[in-house]
Amino acid sequence: MLKKTLLLPLLASLLLIIGIVGIANRDFSPVVHSSLTNLATLKTMARDAVPYEVAMSNGKPSLIEFYADWCQTCQSLASTLEQLHQEYGESVNFTMLNIDDPQWQPQIQTYQVTGVPHLTFLRANHEIADTLIGKVPGFVIEDTLKEFRI
Catalytic pick from 42, 49, 74, 119? 74
Active site residue 140: no
Active site residue 55: no
Burial of 89 (0-12, 13-18, 19+ CB in 10 A): middle
| Per-residue burial over 106-122, b = 16 or more CB atoms within 10 Å of its CB, e = otherwise | ebbeebebeebbbbbbb
Name the E strands within 20-104: 62-67, 93-98
Catalytic pick from 71, 81, 113, 141? 71
Positions annotated as catalytic residues are 71, 74
